[in-house]
Structure 1
Amino acid sequence: MSDLLRPPSVPRVLSIAGSDPSGGAGIQADLKSIAANGGYGMAVVTALTAQNTRGVRAVHVPPTVFLREQLDAVSDDIEIDAVKIGMLANAEVIRTVLAWLTVTRPPVVVVDPVMVATSGDRLLDPDAEVALRALFAQAHLITPNLIELGVLTDRDIVDWSDAIAAAVALSDETGAAVLVKGGHLPGDESPDALVEPGGVVHEFGGARIATVNTHGTGCSLSSALATRRAHGDDWSQAVAVSRAWVRESLRGSETLNVGGGQGPISHFAGLWRRGGIVSSPIPEEVVADWWARIAEIRSDIDALPFIGGLADGTLSREPFLFYLGQDALYLREYARVLAQAGRLAPTSEEQAFWAQSAHGAIVGELELHASWLSPQTGVGTWTFAAEPAPATTAYLDHLRSTAFGGDYTELIAAILPCFWLYTDLGKRLHAGEFGAYARNPQHPYASWLATYADPAFEEANRRAIGYVANAAAGVGPDARARMFRAFELSSRHERAFFDAPMERCASR
């Protein structure tokens, strides 16, 4: 059989084994193991057991005709990248699986022989043991425990050197690699060794992990090995990675608190710790969620007297010029914040976008402000002559603290409302949502209102939303929550900023 593999992106791994209704061993453990190691798990049931963490109470073996139906149903439809074989209860079951293997020839076959109970009792009769040896001819890797290895080689295994010698003998006999496991040896160490055909031995050391939660460890390890090999690892790499995963799962098993006997390992302990259990949204979901969560703020802005007066042309010149003076102060600092986003950006595309936005804030928008505030001199000292209002100072303090706190994702979330709220408001003003007069060329603030619906600004807004949403979808829940807090606080500052001109006029 060829040992060359072309690994798929997600290996399709079939477990052929008995069931364990308590979930710790058999096909239930195999499916967890396959998933935890990046594969798509499938299962064909060879036997139904009544068992828990304390022991096996009964075994039911379905007819082998049905077993073959299961095997054919899977292989007729799905390309199988690896097979792990566990509990095969009798000779007829073994021969059925062997006949199917001979036809389908999976590229990876791992056999975890279930031959001897924990008590030491033999589980297979002599006819079944003979059939199992024939099955080994189809295997690429065999993973017996020490008791099973002794039975298979008719040797007494007293120490680690005996185990290695027995594994070499079994590999020579079968032509398959053999993983010999030292977990049943006494002492503080729990070594394993991979013996490849030709006698090459790779040893793997490790301190014994103090836990009683070892139910299903052999099942889990063998299915992990099949999955890692289907990923493209060689056998030595597969053993190293799978052992590390099993040891991590053993260490995490204490938190499961399953059963009163020999508990299971925690197959996903490492994944839960590293990735959490909260699903990540896609960018489109982030956009919809964030926009909905600031609905009240957006509604408040729509209802502000400043926005109403700006739309219907009744806004007096004084609050409008006050607003422009504050906005000029804001834009000068906002451009620096945008430039900082460009410095922190992880890609050249984002660096360029934020830098161009900073340039646009200075060259484009401030020139428009200057046409109202300092028309004789253009952008200069008089453009920034206003005394900063409390709302302006608070908004800029928030942006500056976020900008120079060093977190790019929070910074662009804080920047976004200035793009998004302005674009949304401009589109709706231009569409006549606040009254048809806002679209009239004779409107006193027509030149200003036209800037709200600028297609270039709308495109910049689309890109800004995309960068923020992609970043939020790519971080964990805690970081995403921090991003939203920065975004929401900026939105609240936007509301206060729009309200400030009329508040000032009312206070005078």
Structure 2
Amino acid sequence: MGRTSMTGIPRVLSIAGTDPTGGAGIQADLKSIAANGGYGMAVVTALVAQNTHGVRSVHVPPLDFLAEQLDAVSDDVEIDAVKIGMLADTGVIGVVEAWLERVQPPIVVLDPVMVATSGDRLLDANAEAALRQLLSRATLVTPNIPELAILVDEPRALTWADALAQAERLSERHGVAVVAKGGHLDGDAVPDAVVDASESDDDRIREVPGTRIVSTNTHGTGCSLSSALATLLPRVGDTAEALAQAKCWLAESIRHGADLHVGSGNGPVSHFAGLWARGGLEARPTAADLAASWWNDIADIRRDIDDSPFVRGLAAGDLDDGAFRWYLAQDAIYLRAYARVLAEASRLAPTAEEQAFWATSAAGSIEGELALHEGWLGTETVFDAEPSRVTTAYLDHLAASAFRGDYGVLIAALLPCFWLYHDAGLRLRDHAHDSHPYRSWLETYADPAFTISNERAIGFVANAAARASDADRSAMFTAFRASAAHERAFFDAPLTGDRDARL
């Protein structure tokens, strides 16, 4: 059976009984739907008192309440697929059948819950007959071998060939595709197959191989597989492909079931084991959240910069001229090397927009900033100065970040030069009156063009961090904070002993 695949998140309704331990029934269905990329909904057909050792009792709610549940969902939500599990008696089956006839969901996966783990039959003869009648309303039915035998009213299949033959007869009689499951057969091989008598000979039986997993965590595997199929079918569009994906997911979930330590009987599978392993347990922050968090996390450094004697003297206009000129000479050295690192960021950039931004910033560091330095110091002084220990340490950090070849780490290391200077410049600009000795300098980092560049730099870094893995994001922040600390040392250096330390 093939269908046109859909885009978006499938909205899947489970119609089934409950399991208070969470391993089977609608609890397992909702986990399976979510784990396979769907939005799960549930209508309760029966309240079941059970645990990993078995069922203790079943309470069937009034039929009119079942009908109200079904109508409440379908009156409001467009349903992409339905999974049907435990239907306790003929009354429940009749209500569900009438609803299916009225609503006509595009995909219906029926998991015929007919036989208990002990081998006891759960439905009386009338209910079994009603369930057979329901098969014609289904797109796909997923019986295990004992249930398959009941549905075709034959002895239980003892071989895989017998199971396939029974599935084919069931498909022919009711016009429904059947998933034949080999889990109840002996041996290490556990094949499954989609059997559809309406298909051509080549596609009539499509097998999906499998290997038995030795585990006692198999509670709810039938529920989980059928609800996974109901979720995957709208997206994948092909039943055999959906079965292959569902089986791969379920095998991984079974392998990790023991890690849950739930119950002392046949425990549940770990529905989200793969997602937890590959996706982690921490929510992925947005770019805006990350930018705010990183800015807050260097609040101590920002306070130190604002309180530094150099910045206070610069704002007041009483900063020693020699200290300021020494600072400018070191900044000129820094900017020449900074431009090279910006160019490396342009080379590593993943998009043309980012490539152009970092390249333009590199050119700006040379053309605009150095022109301002030369205006204060003269060409000879700018190019004759030697780097201090603080300048060298900062440039070594940037060079090491570039050497890694990691675009995210590199631009995170570059960001404080934009962000901290712009932040300080906004406040320093307020002191730039006409007679202020450093007015032209104070206005440099608060002009509109630099504001735009700063915002773009923050955006590129924050978006890269939001896309990164937890480990890569952590490395980015480490580089960012290290650069912020180097900026603080750079502001402190003109009025400390480092001013006299030449390398």
Q: Normalising TM by the smaller chain, what interval? A: over 0.9
* Cα offset, 1:90, TM superposition: 0.5
Superposition pairs for residues 108-123 of structure 1, below 5 Å? 108-123=107-122
Distance 1:44 1:463 in 2: 49
Distance 1:507 1:461 in 2: 32
Judge conservation of contact 1:142–1:179 (CA < 8 Å) in 2.
Answer: yes
Superposition pairs for residues 413-452 of structure 1, below 5 Å? 413-430=412-429, 432=430, 438-452=431-445
Distance 2:360 2:2 in 1: 54
AA aligned to 2:229 is L
The answer to whether structure 1 residue 34 and structure 2 residue 33 are counterparts is yes
Distance 2:266 2:112 in 1: 20
Instruction: Look up the SS of the partner of 1:326 in the other structure.
Output: helix
Distance 1:118 1:66 in 2: 29
Superposition pairs for residues 59-458 of structure 1, below 5 Å? 59-156=58-155, 157-198=157-198, 200-374=204-378, 378=379, 382-430=381-429, 432=430, 438-458=431-451
The answer to whether structure 1 residue 56 and structure 2 residue 60 are counterparts is no
* Cα offset, 1:470, TM superposition: 0.8
* Cα offset, 1:8, TM superposition: 4.6
* More displaced 10-residue stretch of structure 1: 4-13 or 329-338: 4-13
AA aligned to 1:497 is F
Distance 2:7 2:30 in 1: 18
* Cα offset, 1:118, TM superposition: 1.5
RMSD: 1.5
Distance 1:506 1:399 in 2: 21
Residue by residue over 1:273-308, the C-alpha shift from the partner in whole angstroms, topping out at 9 and shown as x without a partner, is 010010011111111111111111100001111111
AA aligned to 1:462 is E
Overall identity of the aligned pairs, in %: 60
AA aligned to 1:450 is E
AA aligned to 2:258 is E
Residue by residue over 1:259-281, the C-alpha shift from the partner in whole angstroms, topping out at 9 and shown as x without a partner, is 10101110000000010010011
* Cα offset, 1:396, TM superposition: 0.6
Distance 2:64 2:5 in 1: 32
AA aligned to 1:319 is A
Distance 2:413 2:107 in 1: 51
* Cα offset, 1:206, TM superposition: 1.6
CA separation of 1:226/1:10 partners in 2, compared to 1, >3 Å: closer, same or farther? same
CA separation of 1:215/1:505 partners in 2, compared to 1, >3 Å: closer, same or farther? closer
Instruction: Look up the SS of the partner of 2:454 in the other structure.
Output: helix
Residue by residue over 1:113-170, the C-alpha shift from the partner in whole angstroms, topping out at 9 and shown as x without a partner, is 0011122111111111111111111100000000101111123301000011011101
CA separation of 1:340/1:505 partners in 2, compared to 1, >3 Å: closer, same or farther? closer
Distance 1:3 1:274 in 2: 30
* Cα offset, 1:63, TM superposition: 1.1
Residue by residue over 1:459-507, the C-alpha shift from the partner in whole angstroms, topping out at 9 and shown as x without a partner, is 0000000011111111222222211111111000000000000114887
Gaps of 5+ in 2: none
AA aligned to 1:51 is Q
AA aligned to 1:190 is V
Match of 2:495 in 1: 502
AA aligned to 1:470 is N
CA separation of 1:394/1:290 partners in 2, compared to 1, >3 Å: closer, same or farther? same
AA aligned to 1:174 is H
Judge conservation of contact 1:216–1:265 (CA < 8 Å) in 2.
Answer: yes
AA aligned to 2:405 is G
AA aligned to 2:461 is V
Distance 2:116 2:307 in 1: 76
Judge conservation of contact 2:326–2:499 (CA < 8 Å) in 1.
Answer: no
Distance 1:288 1:506 in 2: 34
AA aligned to 2:91 is E
Judge conservation of contact 2:394–2:483 (CA < 8 Å) in 1.
Answer: yes
Residue by residue over 1:59-81, the C-alpha shift from the partner in whole angstroms, topping out at 9 and shown as x without a partner, is 11111111001001111111111
AA aligned to 2:462 is A
Moved over 4 A (4+): 2-6, 505-508
Distance 2:68 2:383 in 1: 81
Match of 1:460 in 2: 453
Instruction: Look up the SS of the partner of 2:370 in the other structure.
Output: helix
Distance 1:90 1:457 in 2: 73
Judge conservation of contact 1:137–1:174 (CA < 8 Å) in 2.
Answer: yes
AA aligned to 2:301 is I
* Cα offset, 1:186, TM superposition: 0.8
The answer to whether structure 1 residue 15 and structure 2 residue 14 are counterparts is yes
Instruction: Look up the SS of the partner of 1:77 in the other structure.
Output: coil
CA separation of 1:505/1:275 partners in 2, compared to 1, >3 Å: closer, same or farther? closer
Residue by residue over 1:402-437, the C-alpha shift from the partner in whole angstroms, topping out at 9 and shown as x without a partner, is 11111111111111000000001111111x2xxxxx
* More displaced 10-residue stretch of structure 1: 325-334 or 472-481: 472-481
Distance 1:102 1:168 in 2: 25
Distance 1:190 1:262 in 2: 19
Judge conservation of contact 1:248–1:270 (CA < 8 Å) in 2.
Answer: yes
Distance 2:213 2:466 in 1: 37
Distance 1:479 1:273 in 2: 17
Distance 1:144 1:397 in 2: 66
Normalising by structure 2, we get a TM-score of 0.96
Gaps of 5+ in 1: 433-437
AA aligned to 1:28 is Q
* More displaced 10-residue stretch of structure 1: 396-405 or 199-208: 199-208
Distance 2:408 2:52 in 1: 47
Instruction: Look up the SS of the partner of 1:424 in the other structure.
Output: helix
Instruction: Look up the SS of the partner of 1:193 in the other structure.
Output: strand
Distance 1:341 1:482 in 2: 16
Distance 1:12 1:458 in 2: 45
* Cα offset, 1:232, TM superposition: 4.1
Match of 2:46 in 1: 47
AA aligned to 1:286 is L
Distance 1:447 1:507 in 2: 26
Residue by residue over 1:362-413, the C-alpha shift from the partner in whole angstroms, topping out at 9 and shown as x without a partner, is 1111111111222xxx4xx642321211110111111100111111111111
Distance 1:348 1:485 in 2: 26
Distance 2:427 2:13 in 1: 57
Q: Number of residue pairs matched?
A: 496
